[in-house]
Amino acid sequence: MFKNQRYLTCGIQAVIPPPLQLFLWNCIDMLPEERDYLQVFELAPFGEFQQIKHTSEQPEYHKVFLIPSDNPIIAKLYVIDSDTYSTMLLAEEY
């Protein structure tokens, strides 16, 4: 899973800076081979850091990242794999 064409919605392009987009794709790439088709990311400020909570249900996975940020973002987004392509979208675009 997630070894296919990758797409971003207009909402992702407008809200999530490209370096952060790449970081999120890399979080998925670093997962073990057994992956859920739905990956969830919750972004929130944490002091001077961007907090990123990455979760999935099957298999259960939970990891929190803190990266320095001058402009932390508040957003929830999904990355969904459909076997032929993967799409990153904001939760409100689902």
Domain range list for the chain = 5-93
Residue 38 has a pLDDT of 96
Separation CA 57–CA 64 (nearest Å): 15
Residue 39 has a pLDDT of 97
The kind and range of the H/E element at 77 are strand 75-81
One DSSP character per residue, 14-76 reads HHS-HHHHHHHHHHHHTS-S---SEEEEEEEEETTEEEEEEEETTTTEEEEEEEE-SS---EE
Instruction: Enter the CATH code of domain 5-93.
Output: 3.10.450.150
pTM of structure: 0.94
Residue 33 has a pLDDT of 78
From first to last of the 94 residues of the chain, give the pLDDT tens digit.
Answer: 788 999 999 999 999 999 999 999 999 999 887 889 999 999 999 999 999 999 999 889 999 999 999 999 999 999 999 989 999 999 999 8
Residue 2 has a pLDDT of 83
